[in-house]
A = this chain, B = another copy of it.
Amino acid sequence: MNKSKTLLAAALFSAMATTAQAGSEIETLITMLHENGMVSDEQYGRLVAELEQNKAQSVEKDTKIQAQLTEATKPSDVEVKVKGGVTVKTRDGKFSTKLGGRLQADAAAYSADPEMGDGTEIRRARLYLEGTMYSDWGYKLEYDFASTGANGKGITDALITYKGVDHLELKVGHFKDPFSLEQQTSANNVMFTERSLAGAFAPGRHIGVMASTNQQHWSLAGGVFGDTVSATNGTSHDQDEGWGLGARATFAPINEKTKVIHLGLGLNYRDTGGLGTTSFSQQAETHISGVNIVNTGTITGVSDFLKVGAELATVMGPFSAQAEYITTSVSRNNASDLDFNGWYAQAGYFLTGESRNYKKGIFGSVTPKASVGEGGIGAWELGLRYSTVDLTDADIMGGEADSVTLGVNWYATPTLRFSANYIDVLDVKGGTYDDQEPRVFQVRSQWAF
């Protein structure tokens, strides 16, 4: 091989020669044949030129394919999920929307006195739309189609949240006052079909503003509230609505996946506004009948009242327990103050080994280890509760009641729950139903997501 050939080869193949690359053997062959004198310089020149051109074309083609592949394999900007409800969110996390809901279809049979009326009921039938907007903002609107009474009354959560500051959430709209573990826990997720007798003191939802923070071992929430969504400034619309203050602090010294100790304290103050009335009542841990076994009736001349609640709860593997005590002090203008109170203690055990799901100071939904429809039998839970409430004080003879409830829950899938409860009202003392001891058997079929 003469020098000129070598130089020519070097000049032409400089870049390519460094490492082997697709088709490089043809370069090598051409060079060899040229060196061996099998092709002339002119032929060699033509071959090299053609090779170069083809290589450039090949690179261009590969680049184009790669660009197309990159385009084709990149995840879509929007992700759609369906698991009962539908969730749509942008990959960048700036926007999301979820459409969800719940249904609770109940039936109940009553025995012993008082007559309570066997029957059926759609207990709750809700749809909601909630989401995130522009990274820092959230919204929600939920409506309960099973709500009776004035139309707007079916509005449950209707709110805006601001999450632009770390560990802090600001909320404005209509939502639950921060008070009581069993009230904060969704009705989808409480252990029995109805909350305890102490639920007589549930503050419910009001239109207001709240700030809250949730950490691994504690949570804190406090807000200022106006009145309920259906409050109407009295019949002549000229009286101030009520307003209130609420705060709840929780502390979880242990908060692991299957091991929790929870302590909580709630305060709820309410000024009754221009109406100056309030009332407390409770059914026998049932809702179909509508009979309130304890009931203060309308208490007049009320300026304000204060509720204080203490919470205790634990999860130890499949076992869980929870207890609350709530006391309510009612200040009256021209009569002595009133003190009412109630408490409950309950325990539950998963036969199938699941654990109650504790998060942000409340209990969340139960996820069975193996769902029905995926080869499993779902999650099975037994529960027992004692609860009591006393609505009798001074001249107000609302009555006192206590009851024991035995329940079984079958969580067929994470979205389905079937429950059966047997409630034995041990005694009613005072009030309309003095000395009566109704018994309730009720069942619920529920989907929620």
Contacts and interface: CB of A to CB of B under 8 A. Distances in A.
Interface of A: 20-26, 28-30, 32-33, 36, 38-40, 43, 46-47, 50-51, 53-54, 57-58, 61, 65, 68-69, 71-73, 76, 78, 80-86, 88-90, 94-97, 99, 101, 103, 105, 107, 114-122, 125, 127, 129, 131, 133-137, 139, 141, 143, 145-155, 158-160, 164, 172-174, 206-208, 226-227, 229, 231-234, 237-241, 273-274, 288-291, 371-374, 412-413, 415-416, 445, 447, 449
Nearest to A173: B105
Nearest to A235: B290
20 contacts: A20-B50, A22-B57, A26-B26, A29-B39, A32-B43, A36-B38, A76-B76, A82-B88, A82-B95, A107-B207, A116-B238, A117-B239, A117-B241, A119-B231, A120-B206, A127-B129, A127-B141, A134-B372, A134-B413, A137-B415
- The count of identical subunits is 3
A373 B137 contact: yes
Given A33-B38, A54-B22, A96-B82, A120 B231 contact: yes
B133 A84 contact: yes
A137 B207 contact: no
A174 B122 contact: yes
Nearest to A29: B47
A371 B306 CA distance: 41
B137 A413 contact: yes
A80 B84 contact: no
Contacts of A232: 290
